[in-house]
Amino acid sequence: MSNETSKEEKKKRIILIGRSTAGKTTLCQRINNEELHYYKTQTVQVINKNMIDTPGEYLERRGFRGALIVTSADADIILMVQDATEGGTMFPPLFCSMFAGKPCVGIITKADLADEEQIERAKKYLKDAGAGTLYVTSAVTGEGVEQLVRDLHIL
Ligand SMILES: Nc1nc2c(ncn2[C@@H]2O[C@H](COP(=O)(O)OP(=O)(O)OP(=O)(O)O)[C@@H](O)[C@H]2O)c(=O)[nH]1
Ligand SMILES: [Mg+2]
């Protein structure tokens, strides 16, 4: 077996879930060392074979919950993406229980724009929703991104 093959096999498949503008797509760009450019995610997108980027509407609209569950079946790890600057959350308590025991990780985005209080608030939203490990990240400064990639075997 070549090294490349074993690396591909070890790679985890992740799905990013979070409201519109939470920073899912931008985080994917940062992970892949791409230039950051904004575009609205219109539909489910597989990036680099192992990252499933979803549109915010999948979380925001109750009617899409079924689609979220079906789409997440292809993933090993659920990434719940919460904007640190948002004074609320779209993740209901125990949101993670929808995914039948799959590991759910909490990602706080836009740390570069947030103060300590905002970050603590975002952590609480994610904990209440059932997230396990939490990562505080910024796609702009790169904070937390390397750690995330390493821990979750994304690349
Ligand atoms: N300052 C700062 N801005 C960010 C960060 N991450 C994302 N943004 C900005 O937030 C806006 C929305 O980011 P997206 O990554 O497109 O959000 P999304 O979650 O993919 O949104 P949908 O595709 O609508 O579901 C963009 O203008 C980004 O530039 C960050 O870490 N820091
Ligand atoms: Mg997007």
The string of pLDDT tens digits covering residues 106-115 is 999 999 999 9
Atom of ligand 1 nearest to the CA of 54: 25
Query: How far is ligand 2, taken at its centre, from the CA of residue 45, in Å?
Result: 9
- 89 dihedral zone (left: phi>0; alpha: psi -120 to 50; beta): beta
CA distance 25 to 15: 11
pLDDT digits (tens, 9 = 90+) for 43-84: 999 999 999 999 999 999 999 999 999 999 999 999 999 999
Q: At what angle do helices 145-152 and 24-31 cross, to 10 degrees?
A: 80
Q: What pLDDT was estimated at residue 113?
A: 98
Q: Quick check: 8 pLDDT over 70?
A: no
- Burial class for 140, CB neighbours closer than 10 Å (0-12, 13-18, 19+): middle
What pTM was computed for the model?
Answer: 0.96
Whether 22 is in the pocket of ligand 1, judged by its Cβ within 6 Å, is yes
| Strand residues in 9-102 grouped as ranges (E) | 14-17, 45-47, 51-53, 77-83
Whether 113 is in the pocket of ligand 1, judged by its Cβ within 6 Å, is yes
Query: What is the DSSP-derived secondary structure letter of residue 18?
Result: -
> In the predicted model, what is the mean pLDDT of residues 34-49?
96
Q: What pLDDT was estimated at residue 154?
A: 95
Q: Atom 32 (ligand 1): residue with closest C-alpha?
A: 110
For residue 87, give the nearest of 56, 119, 58 by alpha carbon: 119
Query: How far is ligand 2, taken at its centre, from the CA of residue 139, in Å?
Result: 13
Whether 57 is in the pocket of ligand 1, judged by its Cβ within 6 Å, is no
Query: How far is ligand 1, taken at its centre, from the CA of residue 97, in Å?
Result: 26
Q: What pLDDT was estimated at residue 10?
A: 78
Q: Quick check: 1 pLDDT over 90?
A: no
Q: What pLDDT was estimated at residue 149?
A: 97
Q: Atom 30 (ligand 1): residue with closest C-alpha?
A: 110
Q: Quick check: 3 pLDDT over 90?
A: no
